[in-house]
Structure 1
C-alpha cells in the first residue's frame, strides 16, 4: 500500500495528515503510526491525523499521538486539519467537525489564520502552587519567575510532573509559563506533551490552558502567547462561577510538504 500524505505545522507543532475519506488507513497498526511519526526512521511529526467523513459534520478528525495511540484533543492539530480540509475542498471558510472531545467549529481568515472554537472549560484546580485544567486534554500550568523559562530543562521537569504519583495513571501535559515583562508583550510558554513524551515547539490545548489560568493573574481576553514555534492568541469569556465559555484558539496552520510512503502492514 502506498500512503499519500501531507505534512502540516501550526506554530511548529507538526503532523502527518492523511486523507482517509475512503477509510483505508490501518488505524489499529500502532507501530505504523509510531514509525510514520519517527523523525529518523519515518516522516517525522508530533502526531498523525486522519481526516474522515462523518454524517452530521463536515469531517471527523482522528488524532494519534507520536506513540502510535489515539490521543485526546489537539488544538494545533485541529487547526491544521481545518486547513487540510479546505485544501481538499471538503470545506470553504467555515466548518463544523468532530474531534476526540466533541464537536468544534472553526473559520479560516484570508491570511490563513485558523480560528478554532474549543470546548467550554469547567474551571481550574489548584495543585499546590500550580493550576490544573482540562481544555480537551489535561494540562498542568506552572508559572515561573522572570527570566527563568529560557534555561529550564523542560524535558526533565515536565517528565517528573507527568509521571509523578498524582498524574501517573492518566498522565498530564505540563506547561511552564513566564509572565510578560511589559504591557503588550506576550506570555512565554514551553510545553512537555504526553504521548510525544518530550517538549514540543507548541501546544494548542496547552496555550489555551495557560491563557485561562493567566486570566486569574490579570490577563484579559484575547491573550497573546509565544511558544518556541510562534505566536498564538486565545480569546474567551470568563463566568462568575470560574468556568470559561466562547474559548477560541487562533493562529497559523500551513502545509510543509507532501509525499508518499510505502506501507507494509502486519509488521507491528
Structure 2
C-alpha cells in the first residue's frame, strides 16, 4: 500500500504527518513506525503523527515516538494543528484530542498557540526538579548549557532507577536574561538530544517562571525560539498554559508500506 505523508517541523523538531481519517494506517505495526522515523532506512523524524476523526472534536492526534511508544508532544501538536489547517479540517481555532486529553489551539500568523494541560505540582529534589506537562520531564539548571554533555548526562538520568521502568525526558537549562532561558533536551523514545522539545520547554518555563515570579518566558533551543505564557494559582499550580511558536510544512512525499 502506498501512502502520502507530509514532513513538518517546529523549531527543528520534525515529524512525519499522515492524514489517517480513513483509518488505513496499521497503527499496531510498531516496526513500521520505527522504520518510517528512521533517518537511514525511512523518512526520518523525531516522531510520527496520525490525524484522525474524533467525535466531539475537530480531530484526534495520535503521536508515536521513533521507538513506537506514545506520549504527548507539544511541538508535534503544534504541527498537527498546522497540518489540520492545511487539510481544511479547521480554520484558525480548534479543539482536538491527544493522549493526555483535550487541547485548544489557535493559528496566529505563522505561529501556533497551543493550550497545554494544567500542571498541579512541581517536585523539587535538590538541584533537580520534576514536572509533568503531558509527558514526564526532569529539569536541571546548569552554568553553560551550550557546553554541557547533554547526551551523556541526559541518558544517565533518563535510565536511572528513580524513573524506572518508564524513564523520563531530561532538560538542562541556563538563564540568559530576566525572561529568557536556553534549553537543551534529551528525549525519551528518541534516545538522543533533539533540536527542541515542546513539553520540555513548557516544563522549564514553568519552573523558571515560578522561581522568578513571571507569567511569560521565552526559550531559546538549538532549533529556534519558543514562548510559554501561563497563569499561576496560590497553591503553586499552573493553568492557561500556552506553548507558542512556528510550525512549518517542509515537503510532501509518498512511500510504500
Q: Which residue is equivalent to 2:19?
A: 19
Q: Tell whether the 8 Å contact from 2:215 to 2:232 is kept in structure 1 after alignment.
A: no
Aligned-pair Cα RMSD in Å: 0.9
Shift of 1:127: 2.3
Instruction: Pick from 135, 142, 146 the counterpart of residue 140 of structure 2.
Output: 142
Mapped to 2, the partners of 1:64 and 1:54 lie a distance apart of 18
- Deviation >2 Å, runs of 4+: none
Q: How do 1:1-268 and structure 2 match up within 5 A?
A: 1-69=1-69, 71-109=70-108, 111-145=109-143, 148-180=144-176, 182-183=177-178, 186-218=180-212, 220-263=214-257
* TM-score of the pair, normalised by structure 1: 0.94
Q: Distance in 2 between matches of 1:253 and 1:121?
A: 24
Instruction: Note the residue ranges of structure 1 that are not aligned, 5 or more in a row.
Output: 264-268
Conserved 8 A contact 1:211-1:219: no
Distance in structure 1 (CA, Å) of the matches to 2:229 and 2:9: 21
How far is 1:183 from its partner? 4.2
- Post-superposition shift, 1:169? 1.1
Measured in 1, the distance between the counterparts of 2:7 and 2:58 equals 21
Distance 1:219 1:7 in 2: 38
Report Cα offsets for 1:70-120 as digits up to 9, x if no partner.
x211000000000000000000000000000000000001x2200000000
Q: In the TM superposition, what whole-angstrom CA distance separates every residue of 1:113-145 from its partner, at most 9, and x where no partner exists? A: 000000000110012211101000000100012
TM-score (norm 2): 0.98
List gaps (5 residues or longer) in structure 2.
none
Distance in 1 between residues matched to 2:24 and 2:139, nearest whole Å:
39
Q: Residue 216 of structure 1: SS of its match in structure 2?
A: helix
**Larger helix proportion of the pair:** 2
- What's the offset of the Cα at 1:152? 1.2
Partner of 1:266: none
Q: Deviations over 1:160-200 (max 9, x none)?
A: 000011012121000000011x446x200000000001000
CA distance in 1, matches of 2:46, 2:214: 30
In the alignment, the residues of structure 1 paired with residue 2 and residue 246 of structure 2 have an alpha-carbon distance, to the nearest angstrom, of 29
CA distance in 1, matches of 2:157, 2:163: 7
Query: In the aligned structure 1, how far is the partner of 2:90 from the partner of 2:7?
Result: 19
